[in-house]
Amino acid sequence: MTWWVEALGWLGAALAIAGSAMKTILPLRWIAITANGVGLVYSLWLGLCPGVIVNIVLLPLNTFRMIQMVRLIARAHRAAKGDLSIDWLRPFMDRREVAAEELLFAKGDPADSMFYILAGRYRLRESGIEIPPGSVVGEMGFLSPGNRRTQTLESLEAGSVLTISYDQLRQLYLENPEFGFYFLRLTSERLFQNMAAMEREIARLRMPPAASATRDA
């Protein structure tokens, strides 16, 4: 056996050990592909048919899985950096007409659906945040303990909304990584809005009575 063949054998062994130590899937796939290539050359040179067959099967399989993972990561990056458009979700939603001064849901109610505003004016009563057309609302109940509404949503005028159940959301969340990143950004944005509203209210309460009266006037 020539020295470089023996070196390939040791390299394959080192790659197998390194692959077992990997904690994330992307480096593991890279090492697995390299190990398959090394193992294939080593087995071919020594005429080891089982090694040849195993590596011929594993090399394209690991390469295919690697390509899938790279594409998945690229899609996730695009979703994380993209806008919060939800037009692609609309075909999964049902239309509902809303009357003026109608409560779409109240704080503490069981939460089972999310809304996309098509037309009209809406307000989250507790925080005073107005929800314009083109916005999503009702997503926080999906994450809240016991799936309860965290605020009250009321309509200020007649309009229309699209709704989607949380069961459908769960399925989309599991099947579509882009939606997972979209939903994470959506809920984060709502949390920051609520925090800003709370900070404004705290600042107002801390103002001296005279200053507060002057500001209100």
Give domain limits for the chain.
3-81, 87-206
- Largest Cα span, the chain: 94
Give per-residue pLDDT as tens, 107-157: 988 888 889 889 999 998 888 888 888 888 887 777 777 888 888 999 999
Q: Band the pLDDT of 48: cuts 50, 70, 90.
A: confident
Residue 212 has pLDDT above 60, yes or no: no
In angstroms, rounded to a whole number, what is the distance separating the alpha carbons of residues 118 and 95? 9
Average pLDDT, the chain: 77
212 C-beta neighbours (distance < 10 Å), count? 13
DSSP reduced 3-state for 10 = helix
Q: Band the pLDDT of 90: cuts 50, 70, 90.
A: confident
DSSP reduced 3-state for 159 = strand
Candidate CATH numbers 3.40.1390.10, 2.60.120.10, 3.40.50.970, 3.60.15.10; the one for domain 87-206? 2.60.120.10
Residue 50 has pLDDT above 70, yes or no: yes
Residue 160 has pLDDT above 90, yes or no: yes
User: 3-class secondary structure for 191-204?
Assistant: HHHHHHHHHHHHHH
Residue 75 has pLDDT above 70, yes or no: no
DSSP reduced 3-state for 163 = strand
Average pLDDT over residues 168-185: 70
The answer to whether the CB of 165 falls within 8 A of the CB of 113 is yes
Residue at token pair 């040179």: 45
In sequence order, the β-bridge partners of residue 156 are none
Q: Residue 138 carries which side chain, given as an amino acid letter?
A: G
Least confident interval from 4-13, 17-26, 91-100, 204-213: 204-213
Q: Which of the pair, 207 or 99, is modelled with greater confidence?
A: 99
Q: For residue 26, what pLDDT is reported?
A: 75
In angstroms, rounded to a whole number, what is the distance separating the alpha carbons of residues 169 and 39? 45
